[in-house]
Amino acid sequence: MNPSETLENPPAQPLRSLFVTGTDTGVGKTAVTAALAQRCAREMGRVAALKPVVSGVEANGQWSDVEILRTASTPSRSFEQTCLYALDPPIAPHWAAAQAGLTLDRHKIQRFIEQQSADMDAVLVEGAGGFLVPLGDNWSFADLALGLQFPVLLVVGLRLGAINHALLSAEAILARALPMAGWVANHLQPDLAPGTLETLQRLMPSPCLGEIPFQAEASSVCRSQYLSLPACWD
């Protein structure tokens, strides 16, 4: 045992990290990230759920992803500790940035995530839209995940078409030699075409970490009961 370690002062755990992507925009990445943040907090302690780049301000002047994730973090975080670039138009972030005369700075984003991860037990970083959504002329969220070297969690929004979107996304993740931590089956509708889930279970190249039912009013704490933590964190 290291001399600084005692029973009251156990050895520091390594930072558990995930990059959360999805099969599309609006498939439940924020819902799953917030639920996972609750689960991590119960099991590990301090959790930062980050949305480094967000687009689409709401009528109330807020970006709901940032509000959801900053309050799902433990301890809860400020807006500035959760998001680096907040863009108004509800469009692809690189385009929204260009309209505002901005270039999204890759190194700043990476440094922001690293700084916000300090002293945390876990960090969860949500993308925007799907895995290959651009952040600039020649880089995308996939490159951000690669630069961070975070394992990737894929949120699969369950509706007709999900099989193809999920397999394409998984292929893109694995083609970059990024570890795929798993995928989450998120029911976006009360009904699902027969065979969709069974086919995903059979063909997806990583473990399913949970199946979240369609429930519009569910809290993050409630949704967290359907999720397991990835084996790559063991």
Ligand X SMILES: Nc1ncnc2c1ncn2[C@@H]1O[C@H](COP(=O)(O)OP(=O)(O)OP(=O)(O)O)[C@@H](O)[C@H]1O
Distance CA 86, CA 204 (A): 33
Task: Read off the tokens for 233.
Answer: 């964190």
- The interface partner of residue 90, options being Mg ion, ligand X, ligand DNN, none and the CB cut-off 5 to 8 Å by kind, is ligand DNN
- The single residue among 3, 101, 216, 234 that binds ligand X, judged by CB under 6 A, is 216
DSSP 139: E
CB of 87 to ligand DNN, least distance (A): 8
Stretch that binds ligand X, among 108-116, 136-144, 190-198, 214-222 (CB under 6 A): 214-222
How many CB atoms are located within 10 Å of the residue 144 CB? 21
* DSSP 3-state of 60: coil
Assess 129 for contact with ligand DNN (CB under 6 A).
yes
Contacts of ligand DNN in 50-69 (CB under 6 A): 55-56
- The single residue among 27, 72, 83, 128 that binds ligand DNN, judged by CB under 6 A, is 128
Is the separation of the CB atoms in 52 and 232 below 8 Å? no
CB of 122 to Mg ion, least distance (A): 18
Cross-strand bridge partners of residue 134: 140
- The single residue among 12, 43, 90, 176 that binds ligand DNN, judged by CB under 6 A, is 90
Assess 29 for contact with ligand X (CB under 6 A).
yes
CB of 134 to ligand DNN, least distance (A): 8
CB of 220 to Mg ion, least distance (A): 13
User: Is 108 in the active site?
Assistant: no
Site size toward ligand X, by CB under 6 A: 18
Show the 3-state SS of 64-120: HHHHHHHHHCECCCCCCCCCCEEECCCCCHHHHHHHCCCCCCHHHHHHHHHHHHCCC
Q: Which residues contact 164 (CB under 8 A, 6 or more apart)?
A: none
In the annotated binding site for substrate, the residues are 55
